[in-house]
């Protein structure tokens, strides 16, 4: 069917897994069409990755943050730096909103070629498990490969943990022999993956609470940022400060630092690049409108990421932590009770819609809520996400913290066949503008 349509549209040749006698055009028969197509795209584009210092980042969580941190450091060095990831595609001069975390083969080769033609010398790109499994980046050469962590995600696509890990492991085969593999020593799955790989080049591990080549010690943390010390093995300790909140972001910073040093960054550029990155869209992004409590919008959409975010916010919050979250429809249903159990650690837990897509939102809410209840929590349930956010903000008092989790940087919500404008940050700001926080404060005084 697809071949007939392609020929009708004027295809002059076919890339196929087996010869098609009825197709009267030249045919290239290959054992793996996806891999071959990606290679063809890179070849036509002039093998752009070979002319870039390109860094690949994979992991369940942290890909975007590591990529943005690394770009900030390289820019602090005065280097023209591109980025391809979940939020945006940037060739070093032109930026557009991303469609996929990792572009398809043709788009990927086009963006990399655009970087080369623009004079961009360095780039970082996120490699999703889908992209690695589908060989979207086949033939791309990496100067460094980063593995942040591996926890349950996308089992609706991969099927099980073994297949998911297998997909993630493909990034190791993309790294040049002279390149550097940077990995999280606190994550046992990552450690096993790296240990099982053969023929890797330079390897550098990072951690806070485990033995590693590069470690960090948190000195102080608050809702405004974190002070910490980096201790390289056999090197001089480095005092640092970041506006980013949370222990997980210190791990992300370590990963970016190691790669930056591999690419020739000096310490001053590293410190400056990290300090000047105030926030990353939808990644523990603070929303401040003069209210007497903190509000953060975060992309956390796995149980591990949500639990970690809540624990870290509880560590820097004097009052209660109120969590608004949901689970996506038409995705791995086994994640839903796990997300609920993670959210049960919040002082107040409000279950709402994420992107229900074609599913009945009420079924999703019930499956998530069961996880909260099984973990000993008492969820508040509100299907309408806008109302749920407003309810959370109405409950908040001075010293509390509200976490709106799951959608992060996303600007739309998919309900049924409709794609509706919905940005958690905009909704929070609009809701805060309707509440007389200053008047309430004056009344208490």
Domain boundaries, given as residue ranges, for the chain: 38-275, 285-434
- Mean pLDDT to the nearest integer, 339-366: 97
Written as six digits, the tokens of 190 are: 């990552």
Distance CA 110, CA 113 (A): 5
CATH of 285-434, one of 3.40.50.720, 3.90.1150.10, 3.90.190.20, 3.40.50.10490: 3.90.190.20
- Answer whether residue 445 shows pLDDT above 80: no
Written as six digits, the tokens of 10 are: 């004027």
For the beta carbon of residue 64, count every other beta carbon within 10 angstroms: 25
E strands present in 71-209: 81-84, 88-90, 95-97, 122-126, 142-147, 175-184, 202-207
Categorise residue 416: left if φ over 0, alpha if ψ from -120 to 50, beta otherwise.
left
What is the distance between the terminal CA atoms of the chain, rounded to a whole angstrom? 73
- Answer whether residue 440 shows pLDDT above 70: no
The pTM of this model reads 0.94
Distance CA 110, CA 112 (A): 6
For residue range 418-434, list pLDDT tens digits in order: 999 999 999 999 999 98
**Which residue, among 206, 122, 130, has the nearest Cα to 163 in the 3D structure?**
130
Written as six digits, the tokens of 186 are: 């606190």
pLDDT recorded at residue 150: 93
For the beta carbon of residue 19, count every other beta carbon within 10 angstroms: 10
Is residue 217 classed as helix, strand or coil in its secondary structure?
Answer: strand
CATH topology match: 38-275 vs 285-434: no
Antiparallel, parallel or unpaired: β 14-16 and 225-232: unpaired
**Which residue, among 247, 240, 239, 255, has the nearest Cα to 222 in the 3D structure?**
247
**Which residue, among 215, 226, 428, has the nearest Cα to 316 in the 3D structure?**
226
Contact 35, 135 (CB under 8 A): yes
- Mean pLDDT to the nearest integer, 145-167: 88
pLDDT recorded at residue 437: 59
- Mean pLDDT to the nearest integer, 61-83: 97
Contact 183, 172 (CB under 8 A): no
- Answer whether residue 199 shows pLDDT above 80: no
Instruction: Find tokens 């055009």 and name the residue.
Output: 25
pLDDT recorded at residue 114: 98
Helix locations, 32-125, DSSP H = 33-44, 63-76, 105-118
Contact 120, 81 (CB under 8 A): yes
CATH 3.40.1190.10 fits 38-275, yes or no: yes
């Amino acid at each position: 069917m697809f071949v007939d349509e392609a020929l009708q549209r004027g295809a002059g040749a076919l890339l196929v897994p087996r010869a098609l006698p009825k197709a009267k055009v030249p045919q290239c028969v290959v054992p793996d069409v996806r891999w071959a197509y990606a290679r063809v795209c890179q070849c036509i584009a002039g093998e752009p990755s070979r002319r870039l210092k390109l860094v690949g980042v994979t992991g369940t969580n942290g890909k975007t943050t590591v990529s943005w941190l690394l770009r900030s450091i390289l820019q602090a060095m005065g280097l023209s730096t591109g980025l391809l990831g979940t939020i945006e595609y940037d060739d070093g001069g032109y930026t557009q909103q991303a469609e996929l975390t990792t572009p398809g083969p043709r788009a990927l080769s086009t963006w990399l070629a655009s970087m080369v033609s623009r004079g961009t010398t360095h780039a970082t790109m996120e490699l999703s498990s889908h992209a690695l499994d589908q060989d979207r980046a086949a033939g791309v050469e990496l100067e460094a490969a980063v593995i942040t962590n591996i926890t349950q995600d996308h089992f609706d696509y991969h099927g099980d943990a073994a297949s998911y890990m297998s997909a993630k492991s493909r990034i190791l085969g993309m790294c040049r022999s002279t390149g550097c593999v940077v990995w999280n020593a606190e994550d046992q799955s990552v450690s096993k993956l790296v240990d099982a790989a053969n023929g890797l080049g330079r390897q550098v591990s990072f951690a806070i609470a485990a033995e590693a080549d590069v470690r960090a010690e948190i000195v102080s943390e608050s809702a405004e940022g974190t002070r910490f010390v980096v201790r390289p093995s056999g090197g001089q300790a480095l005092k640092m400060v970041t506006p980013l909140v949370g222990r997980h972001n210190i791990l992300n910073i370590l990963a970016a630092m190691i790669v930056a040093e591999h690419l020739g960054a000096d310490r001053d550029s590293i410190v400056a690049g990290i300090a000047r990155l105030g926030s990353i869209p939808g990644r523990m992004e603070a929303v401040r409108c003069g209210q007497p409590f903190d509000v953060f919008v975060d992309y956390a959409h796995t149980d591990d990421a949500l639990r970690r975010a809540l624990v870290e916010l509880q560590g820097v919050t004097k009052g209660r932590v109120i969590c608004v979250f949901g689970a996506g429809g038409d995705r791995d249903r086994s994640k839903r009770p796990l997300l609920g159990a993670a959210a049960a650690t919040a002082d107040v837990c409000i279950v709402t819609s994420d992107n229900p897509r074609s599913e009945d939102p009420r079924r999703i809410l019930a499956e998530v809520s069961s996880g909260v209840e099984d973990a000993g929590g008492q969820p508040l349930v509100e299907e309408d996400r806008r109302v749920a956010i407003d309810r959370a903000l109405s409950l908040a008092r001075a010293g509390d913290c509200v976490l709106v989790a799951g959608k992060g940087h996303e600007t739309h919500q998919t309900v049924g066949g409709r794609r509706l404008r919905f940005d958690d940050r905009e909704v929070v700001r609009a809701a805060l503008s309707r509440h007389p926080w200053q008047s309430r404060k004056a009344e208490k005084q």
